[in-house]
Chain A
Amino acid sequence: MKVLTLNFLTCAVKSCKSSSDSFPLHPKDAELAKDDVEINPQLLANVLPRLDWNALRTTSTELGFPSLPDQPPSPEDLTADEKMLQELHSLLMETQIMEGKLVCGHCGHEYAIREGIANFLLPSHLV
């Protein structure tokens, strides 16, 4: 799954929903793959306001990508900023998490990822 997906996912455990520690989930033992995808500035501009920027900064650092600025660029700035576009594109659209785990910072639950597909099903005692 693309790293972008990670910005949309939080811990599925009900009692974690209210805790800010449950988002973003933290990749553990992650195996990454890189796809060659043509850059799509229109898509990035669309995605930008839907991102949780702080969560993305955390994810970027945890995956060993260059650190992102404190504040997100405005959609206009982004379209003009070739370097920023390329960085976001490479992180969000080209990088895939193939294997590993996503760990909740609140309850410690680990969601396994296999062949790019994460499993968010919970056992009965956590539903």
Chain B
Amino acid sequence: MDYLIRFSQSHETFRRPEIEALALIEGVDLEIVSYSLDSPFCIAKLPSEDAARRLIQRSILVQSIHELWGHGKTLDEVHAAVRRDTPHLWERYMTCSFKFTLDSYQGSRSAGDKLRIINSFSYLGFEGPIVMRRPDEEFILCEDWEFNSTPLGIPDPKCYFFGRFLASGARDLPKKLDLKKRRYISTTSMDAELTLITANIALAAPGKLMYDPFVGTGSFPIACAHFGALTFGSDIDGRSIRGDEKKRTLKANFEQYGILAGLGGMFTADLTNSPIRRRPLQQNGDGVSGRIFDGIICDPPYGVREGLRVLGVRDPEKSPWVIPKGKEMYKDPDFIPPRKPYSFLAMLDDILQFAAQTLVDDGRLSFWMPTANDEDQEIPVPTHPYLQVVSVCTQVFNKWSRRLITYRRIPDQQVDQVAMRKREEENAALVGKTADELNPFRKAYFNKFET
């Protein structure tokens, strides 16, 4: 049967990756029949009503899902389709309470028009009581209007969809995890809506192990744990995890939301020198052993304002005192070691390599990265032979945009080993160069936009 997915018209490029990820999580066979970025209406084939409800139950970008009775460019076409395809359904709704709703996207109708349109469905012959609050069934006619249709005086929508309402998505969830009411946040915390969407796209679910190597205040683990996953995280700056060590800590956030069982372990570490156990990449592994995580989600530092730093001393000869001081001090639990500048691209490459080594087969890596709007300044999507790009979503701001890039860890046996050897050779040739290469985004940001 066909179903109508009613999306919210926001974060458009995230919508399809989210719903496709949810289909995988729920094990639902989803076939998208029609979808467009500039419409909130999408038609999909699904095996059952139950599958439709499950598909969207944790979707942030789906408003609702409907059993589609008919659609068309004119109201007459809709009626023809409903009369042709659905008479066998009408009897079921003969006596229940019901209501009819008109959902005019980018358009409006006078009260008189609304009534006239709704009455045109009277041939369905429903005899039950009409109830506005919580009826047994709700029938909705959706209209997709041209942008600005009212001022332009456009008389009719581009198309109509008529169906029976089944369920709403999880549009209220972001409010529950709202940063404004969260106990502990910092300037780096990501807003609840985007973390939940990311957690969906990365397939966070009960029984899964998720990791954020740039955990900060824990925004991503919180979203993942909310969906039932067990979460891990680390940050080079332990203070971001500890907070004030009293009421405002990463752990306090988990307590606030009642998801402490989903807090696996948080620790202080540098991704480029990670203590997570890893094996060299295999060519014929069994898909699991030696690998740990189902998903890795992060928002790495891009070093826009401050240069990127990893552990190490940039030039040991210029600051010879740093190393002996480190030898004395490092046993202190609060020891903050010296750091050296590091290229953003080198950092991305480390993340990909780390993910290839630690994700189980079909596990996902989702990370955020900036890209200048200008074509020439665009940072290409980083690649790795063990990771297949699943989706690239873009969030556009005034003067810049950022992307959420998602990869799937492919089984060793499917990896292009020629590409892998090429990558290793190229990386070997870069040794000594990458670390000091300037972050191209940082350059673009300061040269171009900040005047």
Contacts and interface: CB of A to CB of B under 8 A. Distances in A.
Contacts of B329: 123
A121 B236 contact: yes
B230 interface: yes
Contact of A10 (B275, B311, B327): B275
Nearest to B206: A42
A127 B313 CA distance: 9
B123 interface: no
A38 interface: yes
A119 B316 CA distance: 24
Nearest to B250: A117
Interface string B237-270: 0100110010000010000000011011111111
Contact of A1 (B242, B264, B276, B294): B264
Given A1-B265, A10-B275, A116-B251, A124 B322 contact: yes
A5 B265 contact: yes
B46 to A, nearest CB: 25
Contact of B277 (A23, A40, A47, A116): A23
B289 A49 contact: yes
A52 interface: yes
Given A121-B269, A127-B311, A2 B264 contact: yes
Contacts, number: 133
Contact of B326 (A9, A11, A118, A124): A124
A46 B277 contact: no
A45 to B, nearest CB: 8
B251 to A, nearest CB: 7
B430 interface: no
B335 A121 contact: yes
Given A5-B264, A122-B337, A123-B330, A43 B288 contact: no
Contacts of B236: 121
Contact of A117 (B241, B260, B337): B241
A125 B206 CA distance: 42
B273 A8 contact: no
B232 interface: yes
A32 interface: no
A37 B262 CA distance: 10
A122 B270 CA distance: 9
B207 A43 contact: yes
Contacts of B326: 123-125
B270 A117 contact: no
A35 B260 CA distance: 9
Interface in A100-127: 110-127
Given A40-B206, A50-B288, A119 B277 contact: no
A49 B293 CA distance: 11
B336 interface: yes
B264 A120 contact: no
A68 interface: no
A2 B277 CA distance: 16
B275 A112 contact: no
Contacts of B288: 49-50
Interface of A: 1-2, 4-5, 8-12, 14, 23, 35, 37-38, 40, 42-43, 45-47, 49-50, 52, 93, 110-127
The 3 closest A-B pairs by CB, nearest first: A5-B265, A123-B326, A1-B265
13 contacts: A9-B276, A50-B209, A112-B332, A113-B333, A116-B266, A117-B268, A120-B267, A121-B236, A121-B268, A121-B336, A122-B311, A123-B326, A125-B323
Interface of B: 206-209, 230, 232, 234, 236, 238, 241-242, 245, 251, 260-261, 263-270, 273-277, 288-289, 291-292, 294, 311-313, 316, 322-323, 326-327, 329-338, 360
